[in-house]
């Protein structure tokens, strides 16, 4: 008898996890470490070698996946906020006040 495989996911859950996996590929090293912490906290199965950390996204329990997805959403939101702030700061740097326009009384 063979070992049971990952659960069969409904199509919408499969797409949700596939989208998560695409986002996971863009994480920094520090963010990947946090993913491992989440997996450890939820006692999820993963393996580790010199090439990185590996886990079956389809086999991760729903509560664990929800925590991972929430973290990914957090990182994406932070990136957007940082990019917006950098654009704003850059726009301030390009503003110029013409010389001698301020009068001292």
* Inside any domain, residue 3: no
How many structural domains are present in the chain?
1
* Inside any domain, residue 35: yes
Domain containing 51 equals 11-92
* Inside any domain, residue 83: yes
Distance CA(72)–CA(91), nearest Å, equals 29
Q: What is the pTM of this model?
A: 0.76
What's the confidence (pLDDT) of residue 54? 92
* Inside any domain, residue 104: no
* Token digits of residue 8: 């069969």
* Inside any domain, residue 1: no
Distance CA(85)–CA(91), nearest Å, equals 10
Three-class HEC string of 41-91: HCCCCCEEECCEEECCHHHCCHHHHHHHHHHHHHHHHHHHHHHHHHHHHHH
* Inside any domain, residue 72: yes
What's the pLDDT tens digit per position in 15-62?
999 999 999 999 999 999 999 999 999 999 999 888 888 999 999 999
Distance CA(65)–CA(56), nearest Å, equals 11
């Amino acid at each position: 008898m063979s070992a049971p495989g990952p659960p069969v996911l409904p199509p919408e859950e499969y797409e949700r996890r596939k989208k998560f996996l695409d986002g996971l590929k863009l994480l920094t090293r520090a963010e990947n470490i946090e993913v491992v912490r989440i997996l450890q906290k939820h006692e999820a199965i993963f393996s580790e070698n010199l090439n990185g950390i590996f886990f079956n996204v389809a086999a991760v329990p729903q509560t664990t996946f929800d925590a991972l997805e929430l973290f990914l959403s957090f990182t994406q939101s932070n990136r957007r906020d940082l990019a917006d702030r950098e654009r704003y700061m850059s726009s301030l740097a390009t503003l110029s006040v013409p010389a001698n326009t301020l009068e001292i009384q």
